[in-house]
Structure 1
Amino acid sequence: MVTPAPSGAEPASVPPADPAAAVADPAADAALREAAEERLRALAGESARLREDQWSAIRALVAERHRALVVQRTGWGKSAVYFVATALLRAAGAGPTVIVSPLLALMRNQIAAAERAGIRARTVNSANLDDWEAVYTEITAGEVDVLLVSPERLNNPDFRDRALPRLAEGAGLLVVDEAHCISDWGHDFRPDYRRIRTLLRGLPPQTPVLATTATANGRVTRDVAEQLETGDGAATLVLRGGLDRPSLRLSAVDLPDTPARWSWLARHLAELPGSGIVYALTVAAAEDTAAFLTELGYDVRAYTGQTDPEERRRAEDALLANRTKALVATSALGMGFDKPDLGFVVHLGAPQSPISYYQQVGRAGRGLERAEAVLLPGREDREIWSYFASMAFPAEETVRQALDVLAEAGEPMSLPRLETRVDLGRNRLEQMLKVLDVDGAVHRVRGGWTATGRPWEYDSERYAAVAAARRREQQAMLDYIGTDTCRMEFLRRQLDDPGAEPCGRCDNCAGSPFAASVAAEDRDAAARHLDRPGVAVAPRKQWPTGMAALGVDLSGKIRAERRPAEGRALARLTDIGWGTELRRLLNPETADAPMGDHVFKGVVDVLAAWPWERRPAGVVALPSLTRPRLIADLAERLCGVGRLEPVGALAYAEPEAGTGARRHNRAQRLAQVYRALAVPPEVAAAVGRLGGPVLLVDDHTDTGWTLAVAAGLLKDAGAEEVLPLVLAAKS
């Protein structure tokens, strides 16, 4: 345990905060280094010795109370810098270190590492709300050496207004982990990280600041360094090292399709050393791949942003203890996950940036002589990248609309209320507000968001430049896949590493250890699993809040007697099996046409496996302006193959009701379909005499409100039950 000295005391081993005095006193400098080496041995073992850049950073923080940015490869020892500096500063009477850390998994690793060094660490995050009061009490009592907070906490009204000023005033050191997230040029920019600039401005003079990352190219490094500067003329100390990973063997295996990639993975997973991570680009791909490998007898677990937090913790523990062969994960398992003996990282699909790829493969081989990093690129990768790109900062018109709505409200507006006035999905709306908050245009308060009234400019040139940078990164990723030169050198050049040179280890330097071929029986087994159609479509059970503002008299729970039953989709658009075919079929550029036999057989298989209580008696189609032939053909063929009554189709209440632009958030989408849909008299009459459930057919479901409104209308017309059937679900 670190015991702080009495207030005002300064041990002889820690020089004063004046840089000139520190330089002028070599004895004090030597004493500080010896104290730092002693703290490092407590953290990392008796054989541990400080690297020169580790010492430079520690000296800058402790002796000079300076600001430093450390850009070093994964496993280099960046955390040792801030834990050693913390121990020395606390011994000199400084306040606790505040570490801004992006992931709960990373926080858990950091707390465990701190405790091994006798440093008392606590965390404040969304998963331990009940502990906050006790943590604040311990901080006040001087019993906490390190406090880890997530960037999201920095703008939580309670934390920002109550705890943050006290922490900023009394902090002995501020650490920004994964600091590339500060920069919107970075591959993993997060709006919440921009709050750190406000925190930096509020720190007392000479509070040392350390920013660390393993994945920043020259442009991101300059951007972060500039954001750290104090404005008093003192430049940020930047320490960049070589980014080679001598233990990593990089390979790329180009296979024709998902069944081939799955069968390759199934055949080779057992041969890969130790335990590791299989990365997938989407939640659906991670879950489906984990299910496939589990069926084959592998002990693997899915790990995504939608996995229950407690299940994620158990999965992390299982991987750390080598009780599981692999976690099949999205990027939710990423920055800072610390397992020195991680033997492999396999990517089932390519990330959209070589820098992001370098970071993820950097999880492997930190404490090993050899670890495998294998990329299995997919033909559908670019479609997924395109979807992620669509989540960029909204157009100026949408942003101005949100600012006007907040200004007119004159009181805080919650996200659900704001959704009724601004056509953005919940996540994009919140991300936009976070950026506007840092820019000073809005402010988060109890009860929601308010407009500040300050002038704000839409920086179209910067947003366009960032988007262009993303496109260049995607092309660079394609270049990495196709390169016949050294793969590690390629990645290091993407990170502007001046020491980049051929590694002599990757598949292009030393030959591939993996064949780009699969056995026919393995591929067939994978294809059979991928061809299993059908995912559940849960019915909506609660109307969105604030619908009255849109002139729609709906609120609270949806009455059970007006809800549809649980429906079915052939697949999710993000699936790596059927999803690939459906993305092409439903692409706006694909011409409307009758359904192909392969897709129709998949739909029939979904019906055959549907465990409904009562078989449907008839089919009702939803009206479609974009794919009327596809939907009409599907409904007609279902009637024929299932001997069901063709009831007809719903209609639009007015000729132009269905022609408006599709709304993207749930409140506005509900208002749109609520006003648009109607049941023609002949359809109502046919539904009333069916004597059984109605199969409700559509091409896809996104928010779920079209199905909810249509089911209510059909039940009002006398339908006993409504069974939604769609080709694709969004997620």
Structure 2
Amino acid sequence: MDHLEFRAEADAILAELVGDPGGSARLREDQWQAVAALVGERRRALVVQRTGWGKSAVYFVATALLRRRGSGPTVIISPLLALMRNQVESAARAGIQARTINSANPEEWDAIYGEVERGETDVLLVSPERLNSVDFREQVLPKLAATTGLLVVDEAHCISDWGHDFRPDYRRLRAMLTELPVGVPVLATTATANARVTADVAEQLGTGAGEALVLRGPLERESLRLGVVRLPDAAHRLAWLAEHLDELPGSGIIYALTVAAAEEATAFLRQRGFKVASYTGKTENADRLQAEVDLQENRVKALVATSALGMGYDKPDLGFVVHLGSPSSPIAYYQQVGRAGRGVEHADVLLLPGKEDEAIWRYFADTAFPPEAQVRQTLFALADAGRPLSVPALEAAVDLRRTRLETMLKVLDVDGAVKRVKGGWISTGESWVYDAERYAWVAKQRAAEQQAMRDYVSTSQCRMEFLRRQLDDEGAAPCGRCDNCAGAWADSSVSAEALTGAVKELDRPGVEVEPRRMWPTGMPALGIDLKGRIPANQQSSTGRALGRLSDIGWGNRLRPLLAENAPDGPVPDDVLRAAVTVLADWARSPGGWAPNAPDASARPVGVVAVPSLARPQLVASLAEGIAAIGRLPFLGTLTHTGPDGAHAARRSNSAQRLRTLSGTFTVSEDLAGALARSPGPVLLVDDYTDSGWTLAVAARLLRQAGSEGVLPLVLAAAG
């Protein structure tokens, strides 16, 4: 087939893909260059192009061409379910049978594997997490590597730990790349890679196959109009949304930094009559799918989302993106705003930064690679065990939170120092070098990204040019559209009525605090005889907190009070009043104070405080103030018998936290006597709960001392 016939065949497939069979759709020259390299030359290529450029068209057209020429199925590594759903629907229009393997459809996996082996599936979309599954890696991946006709790595910046969104699971692709038969083309795509990330990904793509072709285009988004609206506080930002959301074109996305903030904004906007839906990491899969469809069909004005709705969601006519708080990276910000304006001439993008943004950045920044001592401790624990250890079992030996421990293990797996097997992880015994210089450089890069976001908010230069320069886009130039180029176009005013409503919403205190119900794995190995389910007669009831530290209402008010360097002092009057409000609402809730207690409506018979070393005045005045207002006896404070700081809140895993707390508290004779004289549940007061283990240990002691129930009340909860 000559060049012209080949190009005509490719364009005909594109026409089917876009739903216009027999129409005039044609691949753009840069898209055609990528398709020709993959199909005609069987090359490996990295495509760095702006969101909406049409990267999916490249791999679907290439798939159809390769399948017609007898190649095996295309395997697409894709990070998010939203992208997978969009891609399956797009492929069907061109007669391409696509299936997906991800955490939401495990019951279909066996059937899908069978379809792939029988040649009935043209495209298999796989989430990167599957690459780290032992069964998938050992049984399925080798077959895919041997039979695939095209490997596609979507959002390929995730491969590089220089990138803003490094994901260790992606590093498994290096092994798959080396195992591909000669002549199998590979396509990596991303819209968010600066020069360093591009070079790193291209180098990994070229593993064992020569130099990869890099096709990098300009990242200008001519449809986007960027702006920043600076408002004094969270209440003004919510009020601004209520006042101006209807003025924004079409439907869109409102991004929030935390789940709590997304839920607060959703609740407030619904109260104001807006059709919006929440979309976060806590949203059930079925609800996520419904929310995506509702936005796609313009049945909602906006999704109020966290970064859970990020890479890959495709709605060409998305009219706006508003950020309720600044992301910590301009590259991540550019990626999210790129959801808008793909298929319309104009889309509005607004950033509403908040004073709490940097505190939230710090809260979520605990993802850096651990210090060498902790890594070596992990390697020693695995080598010493002589058997596979699960992550919960490793928590007893290594003082790292679970998510950070899991990330570290995946990196060590890629580096060859550990291996995931049935039953957990083992040490390979291979030598391993701690690359302190690289880890420090990555941490420095994260700090630079945060500074860049501060600069983006305050810059007087073109905002689109600023973002493009962050991505090393050589063609960056003033856009002529943003608020700095063309003048402020977003009205920052809010009405008194809207502001009053927002203040009322954010001033409403009270969130539930779920009790711990299971002891951590591995405690007997630490000499602590606790395992399995915590007996019901040793648990607390579901408690209450005024707010979460990550929310934009009470979180903003509590963070300064509970900051590490904050001075101790009596509880502020407004905070005490809020605690009383929470207690009153708690009493009126369905089932009363303790729905699972024998006497469900039982009122607390007294107040007990958790001893605080960091904030003794704050906790004592809170407990005594509640007792006085509620006309309850203050029964006393648990006795602290551990070393100084033993129960200070810190981000640690459950096993290590419980080990630290073991033996830290006792119930004095005076407190035990007071409990005996006052049968019934007690209110347990503390300033803050993170892991929940301080409350669990204190509740167990009080229940063992004769209390009929424990009702925890804290000022703030993590998360």
Question: Which band: TM-score by shorter chain?
Answer: over 0.9
Partner of 1:713: 701
Alpha-carbon contact 2:614-2:648 (below 8 Å) kept: no
Deviation at 1:661, TM superposition (A): 8.9
* 1:437 and 2:413 are equivalent in the alignment: yes
Q: Report the AA paired with residue 217 of structure 2.
A: G
Partner of 2:181: 204
Partner of 1:510: 486
Alpha-carbon contact 2:649-2:690 (below 8 Å) kept: no
Partner of 1:174: 151
Deviation at 1:295, TM superposition (A): 1.1
Paired residues, number: 704
Match of 2:82 among 85, 105, 115: 105
> Aligned partners of 1:336, 1:377: CA distance in 2, in Å?
25
Q: Report the AA paired with residue 126 of structure 1.
A: S
Relative distance call for 1:284 and 1:166 in structure 2 (3 A) is same
Alpha-carbon contact 1:531-1:577 (below 8 Å) kept: yes
Partner of 1:31: 5
> Aligned partners of 1:370, 1:662: CA distance in 2, in Å?
47
* 1:638 and 2:626 are equivalent in the alignment: yes
Partner of 2:654: 666
Deviation at 1:644, TM superposition (A): 1.4
Deviation at 1:31, TM superposition (A): 2.5
Flag as ranges the 4+ runs of structure 1 deviating above 6 A: none
Relative distance call for 1:690 and 1:314 in structure 2 (3 A) is same
* 1:69 and 2:46 are equivalent in the alignment: yes
Deviation at 1:521, TM superposition (A): 2.1
Relative distance call for 1:655 and 1:392 in structure 2 (3 A) is closer
> Aligned partners of 1:87, 1:68: CA distance in 2, in Å?
18
Deviation at 1:68, TM superposition (A): 0.4
Q: For residues 203-224 of structure 1, what are the alpha-carbon distances to aligned partners after superposition, in whole Å with 9 as ceiling and x for unaligned?
A: 1112110000111111111111
Q: Report the AA paired with residue 229 of structure 1.
A: G
* Correspondences of 1:297-696 after superposition (within 5 Å): 297-611=273-587, 612=593, 613-654=601-642, 658=646, 662=650, 664-696=652-684
Q: Secondary structure at the match of 2:662?
A: helix
Q: Secondary structure at the match of 1:123?
A: strand
> Aligned partners of 1:661, 1:374: CA distance in 2, in Å?
37
Relative distance call for 1:383 and 1:717 in structure 2 (3 A) is same
Partner of 1:85: 62
> Aligned partners of 2:316, 2:645: CA distance in 1, in Å?
59
Alpha-carbon contact 2:658-2:693 (below 8 Å) kept: yes
Relative distance call for 1:460 and 1:618 in structure 2 (3 A) is same
Q: Report the AA paired with residue 91 of structure 1.
A: R
Alpha-carbon contact 1:350-1:376 (below 8 Å) kept: yes
Partner of 1:40: 14
Q: Secondary structure at the match of 1:631?
A: helix
> Aligned partners of 1:662, 1:290: CA distance in 2, in Å?
31
Match of 1:138 among 104, 115, 118: 115
Q: Secondary structure at the match of 2:236?
A: helix
> Aligned partners of 1:642, 1:388: CA distance in 2, in Å?
37
Q: Secondary structure at the match of 2:31?
A: helix
Moved more, 133-142 or 251-260: 133-142
Structure 1 gap segments, 5+ residues each: 1-12, 14-27
Deviation at 1:110, TM superposition (A): 0.6
Partner of 2:136: 159
Alpha-carbon contact 2:227-2:483 (below 8 Å) kept: yes
Identity of aligned residues (%): 64
Deviation at 1:498, TM superposition (A): 1.2
> Aligned partners of 1:591, 1:397: CA distance in 2, in Å?
33
* 1:96 and 2:73 are equivalent in the alignment: yes
Q: For residues 570-600 of structure 1, what are the alpha-carbon distances to aligned partners after superposition, in whole Å with 9 as ceiling and x for unaligned?
A: 1111111110121111111112221122222
Q: Report the AA paired with residue 668 of structure 2.
A: P
> Aligned partners of 1:646, 1:73: CA distance in 2, in Å?
63
Partner of 1:25: none
Deviation at 1:716, TM superposition (A): 1.5
Deviation at 1:693, TM superposition (A): 2.0
Alpha-carbon contact 1:625-1:658 (below 8 Å) kept: no
Alpha-carbon contact 1:364-1:371 (below 8 Å) kept: yes
Relative distance call for 1:655 and 1:423 in structure 2 (3 A) is closer
> Aligned partners of 2:650, 2:185: CA distance in 1, in Å?
51
Q: Secondary structure at the match of 2:663?
A: helix
Partner of 1:16: none
Q: Report the AA paired with residue 125 of structure 1.
A: N
Deviation at 1:672, TM superposition (A): 2.2
Q: Secondary structure at the match of 1:610?
A: helix
> Aligned partners of 1:696, 1:680: CA distance in 2, in Å?
15
Q: Report the AA paired with residue 653 of structure 2.
A: N
Deviation at 1:455, TM superposition (A): 0.7
Deviation at 1:98, TM superposition (A): 0.4
Deviation at 1:663, TM superposition (A): 6.5
Q: For residues 275-318 of structure 1, what are the alpha-carbon distances to aligned partners after superposition, in whole Å with 9 as ceiling and x for unaligned?
A: 11100001111111111111111111111111111111111111
Partner of 1:7: none
Partner of 1:3: none
> Aligned partners of 1:244, 1:467: CA distance in 2, in Å?
28
Deviation at 1:655, TM superposition (A): 5.5
Q: Report the AA paired with residue 87 of structure 2.
A: Q
Partner of 1:700: 688
TM-score by length of 2: 0.96
Q: Report the AA paired with residue 212 of structure 1.
A: T
> Aligned partners of 1:407, 1:675: CA distance in 2, in Å?
30
Q: For residues 618-665 of structure 1, what are the alpha-carbon distances to aligned partners after superposition, in whole Å with 9 as ceiling and x for unaligned?
A: 111111111111111111212221111111111123556837895711
Q: Secondary structure at the match of 2:420?
A: strand
Partner of 2:596: none
Structure 2 gap segments, 5+ residues each: 588-592, 594-600
